[in-house]
C-alpha cells in the first residue's frame, strides 16, 4: 500500500520586494544576489498577515479545492519555527478556523499539534502523518508548514527573507507522490541558528528597585525576537555535514548500489535561498562518483580549490539544470519559507515539468531536508500517475505572476511594524482582526476573520 501526498495548496504574501531594490539600498551589486544566489523577489507579509493567516488560507484552499469534509480530516500537524505562543499551537487555531467553515464542534475528533525543529519541522510532521495513515489506511491527515523568515535589517541574512504556508493532504494511494519507507537521519546539537529568549535587566531600562513593569515582577525581562542568532558560514558547514552523513546513511539503509543521485529524476532540498542546494551539493556529487572521487579527494591539500573549480564546470552546470533548477524557480520569487521551503521546491518541480509536458509518472524524486540545530533527513518518493491533474489545481506559477511590488521605504516600515493599516486591502482571505488587550483572562489572544 502506498502512502503520500494526495493534494497540495499554498498561500504566500501578495507583496514582493524586488531584490534589486534591497541590493541598491545596501550597496550590494544586484548581480551578486540575482545571479550569485538566485534571488529575484522577496515575499513580505502585510499588516493583517501572520503565520496563522498563511496557514488558515492554505488549509481553506485545500478544503475547498478537494471538497473535504470534517470526517476526511483526522489530524492536523503543523511544522513551524514561527510559533506565536509558547503553549497554544498554531494547529489549535486551525481547528477553530475549520469549525467556522464546517460548523461548531465538527473538528473535536481531530488531533492537532505543532512540531518544531527549525526548517525541518515540516518534514517531521509529514513523516509522522505518513506513519499514522500507514497504520490507519482509511484515515487522512493534513500537514501544514507555515513560517515567516525574518532577519535584522542590514544583516547578512536580510536578503534571504520570505514567508508563506504549504498545506498537504496525506492519504493512501496518493495522487501526487508516495514515499519510500526508508528515512535516514543525521542529527547533532549545535548552535548554528537559533531564536533564544533574550534577557534584559530592569536596571538597564532605568527601572530601579525591581519595580513592576508590564506585569513583570522579576528583575529580568525576557524578550523574544523573530530574528535569529546565526552564523552563516557555520550554518552552511552544518548543512553540508549533516546532509552528507544522512545521504550516505540512506544509501546504506536502502542498500543502493552505484551512485545514489543518478536514481533521482530531480532533487528537492531545503532552500533558504534559491541556489543553496546547488552550492552545497558538489561534495556529495564528487564523493559518490567512482571516477571523480579518485581525482578529487579530501586528503588532497588542494581539495577545496578543486571542489570550487568543479562546481563551475560544464558537467556540474548540466547536472544543476537537470536536478535542481525546477525546484529553484519558485524560491527565486518567494524567498525563504523555512519549513515550507522544501515542499514549495517539490511543488515548483512538479509544476515545471507539467508546463514542459514531461510525464514524471513512476520517476523517483530525492529529498534532502535540513533544519538548523541541526538535523538532516534523506528520503525519496515515487511520482503517481495522477500527479499532473492534482497539482494543476494549485496555479503556482500563475499566482507568482500576480504580486504587488513595494519600494524600500514601505519594506522598512513593514519590517519595523510601523504601519497600522495594510498596504493592500484584504480580499478573499483570512486576516488578523486583533489581539486581546483588555480582558485579563484572554490577554494576547489572537482573533481572525474571513474577508470577502
Between residues 295 and 119, the one the model is more confident about: 119
Comparing C-alpha atoms, which of 310, 335, 333, 334 is closest to residue 320?
310
pLDDT band at 297 (very low <50, low <70, confident <90, very high): confident
- How high is the mean pLDDT of the chain? 96
What is the topology classification, in CATH, of domain 3-192+231-281+324-451? Peroxisomal Thiolase; Chain A, domain 1 (3.40.47)
Q: Is the pLDDT of residue 121 over 90?
A: yes
Residue 164: is its pLDDT beyond 90? yes
Average pLDDT (153-170) is 97
pLDDT range class, residue 300, cuts 50, 70, 90: confident
What does the pLDDT read at residue 427? 97
Please say if the pLDDT value at position 433 is more than 90.
Answer: yes
Q: Render pLDDT for 387-423 as a digit per residue (tens, 0 to 9).
A: 999 999 999 999 999 999 999 999 999 999 999 999 9
- Number of Cβ within a 10 Å radius of residue 354: 19
CB 48 within 8 A of CB 167: no
Nearest Cα neighbor of 266 from 348, 314, 324 is 324
Over range 215-237, report the average pLDDT: 94
Query: 19 pLDDT band (50/70/90 cuts)?
Result: very high
In 3D, which of 447, 347, 334 has the Cα closest to residue 97? 447
Under the banding of pLDDT at 50, 70 and 90, the label for residue 299 is confident
CA 244 centroid distance within chain: 20
Q: Where along the chain do the CATH 3.40.47.10 domains lie? A: 3-192+231-281+324-451
Q: How far apart are CA 174 and CA 57, in angstroms?
A: 23
Give the cell for residue 122: 515540516
> Where residue 370 falls among pLDDT bands split at 50, 70, 90?
very high
Three-state DSSP state, 73: coil
What mean pLDDT do residues 224-232 have? 94
Q: Report the pLDDT value the prediction gives residue 111, as an integer from 0 to 100.
A: 98
pLDDT band at residue 302 using 50, 70 and 90 as cut-offs:
confident
On the question of pLDDT at 58 being above 90, the answer is: yes
Compute the distance between CA of residue 158 and CA of residue 82 in angstroms, rounded to an integer. Answer: 17
Measure the CA–CA gap between 168 and 51, rounded to whole angstroms. 16
Note the Cα 256 to chain centre separation in Å: 29
- Going by C-alpha positions, the residue among 337, 279, 282 that lies closest to residue 43 is 337
By the 8 A CB rule, do 162 and 150 touch? Answer: no
Mean pLDDT of 328-349: 98
Q: What is the mean pLDDT of residues 157-182?
A: 97
Of residues 408, 397, 358, 309, the one with CA closest to residue 42: 408
Integer Cα distance of 110 and 100 in angstroms = 15
pLDDT surpasses 90 at 61: yes
7's torsion region: left (phi>0), alpha (psi -120 to 50) or beta?
beta
> How long a stretch of residues is the chain?
452
Give the C-alpha separation, 330 to 341, whole Å: 9
| pLDDT tens digits along 217-226 | 999 999 999 9
358 pLDDT band (50/70/90 cuts)?
A: very high
Render 3-24 in DSSP notation, one character per residue. EEEEEEEEE--SEEEEHHHHHH
Q: What is the DSSP string of 255-282?
A: T--S-GGGG-SEEEE--SSTTHHHHH-H
Q: Which pLDDT does position 357 carry in this prediction?
A: 96
Determine the Cα–Cα distance for residues 350 and 353; give it in Å rounded to an integer: 5
Per-residue pLDDT at 54 exceeds 90: yes
User: Is it the case that residue 77 has pLDDT exceeding 90?
Assistant: yes
Amino acid at each position: 500500500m502506498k502512502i503520500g501526498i494526495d493534494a497540495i495548496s499554498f498561500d504566500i504574501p501578495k507583496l514582493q520586494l524586488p531584490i534589486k531594490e534591497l541590493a541598491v539600498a545596501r550597496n550590494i551589486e544586484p548581480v551578486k544576489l540575482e545571479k550569485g544566489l538566485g534571488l529575484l523577489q522577496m515575499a513580505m507579509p502585510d499588516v493583517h498577515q501572520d503565520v496563522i493567516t498563511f496557514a488558515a488560507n492554505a488549509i481553506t484552499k485545500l478544503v475547498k479545492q478537494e471538497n473535504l469534509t470534517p470526517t476526511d480530516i483526522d489530524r492536523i500537524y503543523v511544522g513551524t519555527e514561527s510559533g506565536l505562543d509558547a503553549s497554544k499551537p498554531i494547529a489549535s487555531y486551525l481547528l477553530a478556523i475549520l469549525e467556522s467553515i464546517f460548523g461548531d464542534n465538527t473538528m473535536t475528533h481531530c488531533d492537532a499539534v505543532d512540531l518544531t525543529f527549525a526548517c525541518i519541522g515540516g518534514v517531521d510532521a509529514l513523516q509522522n502523518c505518513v506513519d499514522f495513515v500507514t497504520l490507519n489506511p482509511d484515515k487522512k491527515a493534513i500537514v501544514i508548514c507555515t513560517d515567516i523568515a525574518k532577519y535584522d535589517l542590514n544583516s547578512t541574512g536580510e536578503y534571504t527573507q520570505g514567508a508563506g504556508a504549504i498545506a498537504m493532504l496525506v492519504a493512501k494511494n496518493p495522487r501526487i507522490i508516495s514515499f519510500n519507507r526508508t528515512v535516514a537521519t543525521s542529527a547533532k546539537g549545535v548552535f548554528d541558528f537559533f531564536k533564544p529568549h533574550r534577557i534584559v535587566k530592569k536596571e538597564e531600562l532605568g527601572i530601579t528597585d525591581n519595580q513592576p513593569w508590564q506585569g513583570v515582577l522579576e528583575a529580568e525581562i525576557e524578550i523574544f525576537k523573530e530574528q535569529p542568532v546565526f552564523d552563516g558560514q557555520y550554518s552552511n558547514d552544518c548543512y553540508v555535514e549533516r546532509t552528507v552523513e544522512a545521504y550516505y546513511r540512506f544509501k546504506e539503509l536502502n542498500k543502493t548500489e552505484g551512485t545514489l543521485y543518478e536514481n533521482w529524476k530531480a532533487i528537492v532540498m531545503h532552500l533558504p535561498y534559491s541556489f543553496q542546494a546547488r552550492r552545497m551539493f558538489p561534495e556529495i556529487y564528487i564523493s559518490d562518483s567512482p571516477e571523480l572521487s579518485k581525482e578529487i579527494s579530501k586528503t588532497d591539500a588542494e581539495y577545496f580549490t578543486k571542489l570550487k573549480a568543479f562546481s563551475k564546470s560544464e558537467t556540474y552546470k548540466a547536472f544543476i539544470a537537470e536536478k535542481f533548477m525546477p525546484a529553484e524557480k519558485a524560491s527565486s520569487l518567494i524567498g525563504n519559507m523555512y519549513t515550507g521551503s522544501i515542499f514549495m521546491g517539490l511543488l515548483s518541480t512538479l509544476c515545471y515539468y507539467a508546463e514542459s509536458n514531461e510525464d514524471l509518472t513512476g520517476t523517483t524524486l530525492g529529498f534532502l531536508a535540513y533544519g538548523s540545530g541541526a538535523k538532516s533527513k534523506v528520503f525519496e518518493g515515487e511520482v503517481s500517475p495522477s500527479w499532473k491533474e492534482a497539482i494543476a489545481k494549485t496555479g503556482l506559477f500563475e499566482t507568482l505572476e500576480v504580486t504587488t511590488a513595494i519600494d524600500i521605504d514601505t519594506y522598512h516600515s513593514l519590517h519595523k511594524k510601523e504601519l497600522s493599516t495594510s498596504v493592500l486591502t484584504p480580499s478573499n482571505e483570512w486576516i488578523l482582526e486583533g489581539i486581546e488587550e483588555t480582558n485579563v483572562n484572554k490577554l494576547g489572544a489572537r482573533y481572525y476573520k474571513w474577508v470577502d
